[in-house]
Amino acid sequence: METIADIGRNARTGGYRRDAWSSADLELREWFRGAAAARRLDLDEDRNGNLWAWWGSPTVPGVVTGSHLDSVRDGGAFDGPLGVVSAFQAVDALRARGFRPARPLGIVCFTDEEGARFGVPCVGSRLLTGVMPAERARGLTDDDGNRLEEVLAAQGRSPAALGRDEETLGRIGMFVELHVEQGRALAVPVGVASAIWPHGRWRLDFRGRADHAGTTALSDRDDPMPAYASAVLRARELAERLGVLATFGKVRVEPGNANAIPSLVAAWLDARGPEEAKVRRLVDELTQDTDVICESWTPEVAFDVPLRDRLAGLLGAPVLPTGAGHDAGILASAGVPSAMIFVRNPTGVSHSPAEFAEPADCEAGVAALATVLEDLCRA
């Protein structure tokens, strides 16, 4: 964790800005290659930009662990990197005790898990599994208008090669992602995930007419800002009533003059909850009279029960659900037996520079992951 601590760190906020395919992300990808090489693991980048480091030739389906290295804007040090770093550490621990896996063991770094730049989360695993059509991914744009296909081409990747990748999928017999827990639900060092809440992102466009802030009478205005402000308050009310979560964390005002009525307020709603019907109800009620597009939707994921119970039994760990999205959820939905190990988060803070996990709990996470990999790779 220390070797990557400075990569993409914003000196002012102390948070990480590791957008997919940014210079920070490219540096982290190089770090991953180096970590694989230092351990003589075979490095492969798949057609969708995900990185794989294999211990043993992946000629039969293997056991895969890992996570992601990109971050939300001003994210913490742990969300993603903890799972990748722990994977390399677990391999070191297994080797130190002379273990030789009976099946291939892979470490993956999924590309663009957070969707901070192009809006859609888990792009790498969605493309790999075919959950997201390649055509849609190629056309995703960042806030500066760069299309993902242009960004990939500029990095020497082939946008035409994006899409469901049977060969890579065939190498994943099962997937175990270690991740920092993102709430205060875990009171012991490690836990095992039961499920991921259904969740999605929607873009709401409130349109109006640009005009002068000093000369336009209130009665003459077509100002989209009050409608947006009402939607924020209404989302909060609905969320409380329905027992779900609703967040507006990103908003863009056009043209963005302090002395002009805006022509557009574009706002991004993130909504999640334990019950899909209630999340959908919130979005439907909130957006009745608004231009809205769904940018991503992930139905509830229930992790493979035998695998979950095997991990919980091996580790003597509690089982808990989460409201955070993960690549493990995308793989699970695509039929790959998947599980997650959570490392305690003492404050519950995440997607923030203040995200933290105790070093001793991180060590316990590595030990737990090594125990699990040893068991799963025995036969």
Q: Using CB under 6 A as the criterion, which residues of the chain lie in contact with ligand GLV when the complex forms?
A: 114, 121, 324-325
Minimum distance from residue 324 beta carbon to ligand GLV (Å): 4
Compare residues 72 and 94 and give the one whose CB is closer to ligand GLV.
72
Phi/psi for 2 (5° steps) reads -65, -35
The residue with tokens 């737990």 is: 368
Q: DSSP letter for 41, please.
A: P
Q: What per-residue string of b and e applies to 307-322 under the rule 16 or more CB within 10 Å gives b?
A: bbebbbeebebebbbb
If contact means CB under 5 to 8 A according to the sort of partner, which of Mn ion, ligand GLV, none does residue 325 touch? Answer: ligand GLV
- Asked whether the beta carbons of 372 and 177 are under 8 A apart, the reply is no
Dist CA 137 CA 111 (whole Å): 12
Minimum distance from residue 80 beta carbon to Mn ion (Å): 4
Angle between helices 305-315 and 359-376 (to 10 degrees): 120
Compare residues 216 and 352 and give the one whose CB is closer to ligand GLV.
352
Q: Identify the burial level of 370 via C-beta atoms within 10 angstroms of its C-beta, where 0-12 means exposed, 13-18 middle and 19 or more buried.
A: buried
Residues numbered 64 to 83 that lie near Mn ion (CB under 5 A) are: 79-80
Give the contact letters, 117-146, x = binds to Mn ion (CB under 5 A), - = no.
------------------------------
188 membership: H or E segment, kind and range:
none
Angle between helices 224-242 and 276-287 (to 10 degrees): 160
Minimum distance from residue 161 beta carbon to Mn ion (Å): 25
If contact means CB under 5 to 8 A according to the sort of partner, which of Mn ion, ligand GLV, none does residue 189 touch? Answer: none
Please report, for residues 246, 247, 283, the alpha-carbon distance to residue 236 in angstroms, rounded to integers and kept in the order given. Answer: 7, 8, 12
How many CB atoms within 10 Å of residue 96?
Answer: 9
Compare residues 80 and 337 and give the one whose CB is closer to Mn ion.
80
Compare residues 121 and 273 and give the one whose CB is closer to ligand GLV.
121
Angle between helices 81-96 and 23-38 (to 10 degrees): 10
Compare residues 314 and 334 and give the one whose CB is closer to ligand GLV.
334
If contact means CB under 5 to 8 A according to the sort of partner, which of Mn ion, ligand GLV, none does residue 223 touch? Answer: none
Report the candidate in 37, 46, 78, 79 with the shortest Cα–Cα distance to residue 64.
46
If contact means CB under 5 to 8 A according to the sort of partner, which of Mn ion, ligand GLV, none does residue 25 touch? Answer: none
Cβ-Cβ contacts under 8 Å for 104 (sequence gap 6 or more): 54, 55, 56, 57, 58, 59, 60, 61, 62, 63, 171
If contact means CB under 5 to 8 A according to the sort of partner, which of ligand GLV, Mn ion, none does residue 329 touch? Answer: none
Compare residues 47 and 179 and give the one whose CB is closer to Mn ion.
179
Minimum distance from residue 177 beta carbon to ligand GLV (Å): 12
Minimum distance from residue 155 beta carbon to ligand GLV (Å): 23
Minimum distance from residue 117 beta carbon to Mn ion (Å): 13
Minimum distance from residue 121 beta carbon to ligand GLV (Å): 5
290 membership: H or E segment, kind and range:
none
Minimum distance from residue 179 beta carbon to Mn ion (Å): 6
Dist CA 9 CA 76 (whole Å): 9
Compare residues 77 and 134 and give the one whose CB is closer to Mn ion.
77
Compare residues 56 and 200 and give the one whose CB is closer to ligand GLV.
200
If contact means CB under 5 to 8 A according to the sort of partner, which of ligand GLV, Mn ion, none does residue 80 touch? Answer: Mn ion
Give contact residues for Mn ion (rule: CB under 5 A).
Answer: 79-80
